Amino acid sequence: MLNLKKTILAMLVVSLCLVFLSQSRNQNAIIIYSAMEQFRNDELQKQLNERFPDKNVYVMYNSTAKTAARISVEKEKTDADIVVGLESSYFEKIKDYFEDNQSLSSIPYLDDCLVPHRKYVTWERTFGTFIVNEKVLKEKGLPIPTSYEELLDPMYKNLISMPDPKSSSTGYMYYLNLVNQLGEEKALAYFDALAKNVKSFTESGSGPVKLLIQGEVGIALGMTFQGVTEINNGHPFRLIEPNYGCPYTVSGTGIVKGRLENQDVKEVYQFIINEFIQYDKQNFNPGLIYENQVSSLEGFPLDVSFGNMTNIESIEEKERLLALWKY
């Protein structure tokens, strides 16, 4: 009986020590909320581990909407130290919880990519295209659609995927583009009709192309750079510029208020916005945001027509339109 008590006591001591060590690590951890796709987050995590082997840095995927909602509630007390790739209209809503930090950036931004209030820096400009899996459509004997109107044809039932505008900035840019192009009433009627052919409104912007890769759908309303990447990886995809122009959105990166006092967090943040940003734009999303920007992404289309994206940075308009979204 005595031995049993000693064993239990020893186990309790060990457990308490583990809890203490875990809490200590968490206190020293640098938490990054990222709305980027997982393969980009993986690359960021890899480079952070290599550059800062003595720091506990963790890149955690959080969708645009979830990140904004969480910080709106938690404010400066949020677990996150840094936020990467948050769509600009959401950043505008929570900007008061971030440091004035553009002086930390050495990137020569284009004039239209400078953030006047300096609470975040521009991370990327993302535009979308129709991305089709030619193999899937060919096997079903279906033509490749070239317009939004053609997507409504019943022959494409359960063959289309689009990001959910409520959780994805990519989904919202398609939604807003058609509202601006068709007018609100006609755009809502259009999406009511399109929903009959949509197999999945995905939580993330990368979701539709993932379904395209798996052969579960034949048409994705997705991000151009992701489609190009998968074409270069050997997938039988084709990009189709939408008939109302390519929708686009802009996202930003910021450091939570109070975190600049932590030198470790500051160093990590400066690495992200000065060095990793260049790697990311060169290899993943080449949408132009700064001078002398280079890209190694073969086949990325730069000569495209952009859609009407009036109010893309208005959080009020976004919240109003999302309240009308049914899916």
Is residue 20's pLDDT more than 70? no
Give which of 8, 59, 15, 4 is closest to 271, Cα–Cα: 59
- CB atoms under 10 Å from CB of 245, counted, come to 16
What are the distances in angstroms from CA 297 to CA 37, 45, 285? 16, 21, 8
Q: Is the pLDDT at 293 greater than 50, yes or no?
A: yes
Cα–Cα distances in angstroms (integers) from residue 105 to residues 158, 209, 257, 280, in the given order: 45, 32, 17, 16
Question: Which amino acid, 119?
Answer: K
CA dist 135 and 238 (Å) reads: 10
C-alpha to C-alpha distance for 32 and 60, rounded to whole angstroms: 6
Separation between Cα atoms, residue 252 and residue 37, nearest integer Å: 15
pLDDT over 60 (residue 9): no
Can you tell me the distance from the alpha carbon of 85 to that of 122, in angstroms, rounded to the nearest whole number? 8
pLDDT digits (tens, 9 = 90+) for 173-232: 999 999 999 999 999 999 999 999 999 999 988 999 999 999 999 999 999 999 999 999
Q: Report how far apart, in Å, the C-alpha atoms of 302 and of each of 61, 173, 267 are.
A: 28, 18, 33
Q: Kindly tell me if the per-residue pLDDT of 23 is higher than 50.
A: no
For 2-125+249-283, CATH number out of 1.10.3720.10, 3.30.540.10, 3.40.190.10, 3.40.50.300 equals 3.40.190.10
Instruction: Determine contact, residues 96/177, Cβ cutoff 8 Å.
Output: no
Give pLDDT tens digits for 83-122.
999 999 899 999 999 999 878 999 999 998 999 999 999 9
pLDDT, mean of residues 16-28: 47
pLDDT higher than threshold 90 for residue 25: no
- How high does pLDDT run on average in the chain? 91
Residue 95 contacts by C-beta under 8 Å, 6 or more apart in sequence?
117, 119, 120, 254
| pLDDT (tens digit per residue) in 124-169 | 999 999 999 999 999 999 999 999 999 999 999 999 999 999 988 8
Q: Which amino acid is at 123?
A: W
**1 pLDDT band (50/70/90 cuts)?**
low
Sign of CA dihedral 176, 177, 178, 182: positive
pLDDT of residue 14: 41
Domain limits, the chain: 2-125+249-283, 127-248+302-324
What is the pLDDT, as a whole number, of residue 27?
A: 63
Q: Are strands 57-61 and 30-34 parallel, antiparallel or unpaired?
A: parallel
Q: Do domains 2-125+249-283 and 127-248+302-324 have the same CATH topology?
A: yes
- pLDDT at residue 17 above 50? no
pLDDT over threshold 80, residue 13: no
- The pLDDT value recorded for residue 149 is 98
Per-residue pLDDT at 258: 96
Q: Calculate ∠ Cα 105-169-101, nearest 5°.
A: 20
Mean pLDDT over 35-51 rounds to 96
pLDDT tens digits along 255-284: 999 999 999 999 999 999 999 999 999 999
pLDDT beyond 60 at 26:
no
According to the model, what pLDDT value does residue 51 have?
A: 98
Beta strands 219-223 and 57-61: pairing type? unpaired
Residues composing the chain: 327
Kindly state the tokens that stand for 109. 């931004």
Q: Do 171 and 327 form a contact (C-beta atoms < 8 A)?
A: no
| Topology at the third CATH level for domain 127-248+302-324 | D-Maltodextrin-Binding Protein; domain 2 (3.40.190)
| C-alpha dihedral sign at 219, 225, 226, 230 | positive
Q: Which of 260, 247, 275, 222 is nearest to 105 (CA)?
A: 275
Alpha-helical runs (H) found in the chain? 2-28, 38-51, 64-74, 88-94, 134-139, 169-182, 184-194, 207-214, 224-232, 263-271, 277-283, 315-324
Provide CB contacts within 8 A for 3, sequence distance 6+.
Answer: none
